[in-house]
Copies of this chain bind each other. A is one copy, B any other.
């Protein structure tokens, strides 16, 4: 069980990397070699198609993660690494949820979607598919409200994050 001394906390790493075959495997390998599970990860291209940006969320001993960050910086295909959780940042996630919405629960699903400013993007006689965007707390809240109605399928992008203010990675 984590204690205050272990300094275990959630870290959100932002990485700029060369958009090359195999780079993602080398980066995730650095974490798995030290036994860190990756809670969520997303990678996509940037304005420059030769450069990709990765957002990686993991929890663990902060001192060991600092070492991992140094090793990431040494990888030839890694252009830049930043621990966004160490400064003011905006974190967002997108989720698609297919939930039971029969005659009796439809109204409730519709209401939850409205409250969380979600969109209903697909409808069948038995299901609604919702698109919801927000921070971790909001996504957790909407999932917890929909769970008792019966979530059939859920896809999450995982968290992405950007520094507040003018600072860039």
Which residues of A line the B interface, CB within 8 A? 14, 19-22, 24-25, 28-29, 31-32, 35-47, 53, 55, 90, 92-94, 96, 98, 121-122, 124, 126-127, 129, 131, 133, 143, 147, 151-158, 160-166, 168-169
Contacts and interface: CB of A to CB of B under 8 A. Distances in A.
Contacts of A129: 90, 162, 164
Contacts of A169: 153
Copies of this chain per assembly? 2
Contacts of A143: 47
Contacts of A94: 92-94, 133, 157, 160
Given A92-B94, A169-B153, A158 B121 contact: no
B157 A44 contact: yes
A98 B155 contact: no
Contact of A156 (B45, B96, B153, B156): B45
A157 to B, nearest CB: 4
